[in-house]
Structure 1
């Protein structure tokens, strides 16, 4: 009886993980010279630990349009201010955690 429940939970988690590589995908598609699969994967790992899915979607837009980050940072919107605090913490954590990673 417990076995089908465990299988369902594992399948749901795997499906979510497979489609939620928002930051990693944006990073890999970016034209930044430092972007590479290993680094982008590392940054995604940090994002998964520190940012909600909604935050990741907004942060991913910065790879396509870096000016958008400036717009959000300077916004008077309180939700943007809260996001920016989380995003800064994410950036600091990603830099610390991923800076020593080998590049591919």
Structure 2
């Protein structure tokens, strides 16, 4: 019986992880101590409201390499500038929803 319950719990976790968006997955995998499932899910919800899928995949890389955010923010590339405006809106939304 314990094996069956364990297998069921693993399948639920696998489905949850598969349904998680790129921001939530990056948040959960980060080494930040406050990366709880509920907080990371909330941040993903804010991302879903403010960022495209491509933006989310790009922003998720900042969890692994925070310096990359600074590089993008300071870039003269017009697509980076436009992304940064959307990313700032995402940050404000996430702070209001999840902070």
Q: Which band: TM-score by shorter chain?
A: 0.7 to 0.9
Q: Scaled by the length of structure 2, what TM-score is found?
A: 0.79
Aligned to 1:56: 56
Structure 1: distance between partners of 2:78 and 2:57: 18
Provide Cα deviations, 1:18-74, integer angstroms capped at 9, x if missing partner.
Answer: 556110000000001121100000000110111000100110000000000000000
CA RMSD of aligned residues (A): 1.1
Does residue 38 of structure 2 align to residue 38 of structure 1? yes
**What are the ranges of 5 or more consecutive residues in structure 1 without an aligned counterpart?**
1-17, 100-104
The structure 1 segments of at least 4 consecutive aligned residues displaced by more than 4 Å after TM superposition are none
Aligned to 1:47: 47
Aligned to 2:25: 25
Aligned to 2:95: 95
Q: Scaled by the length of structure 1, what TM-score is found?
A: 0.76
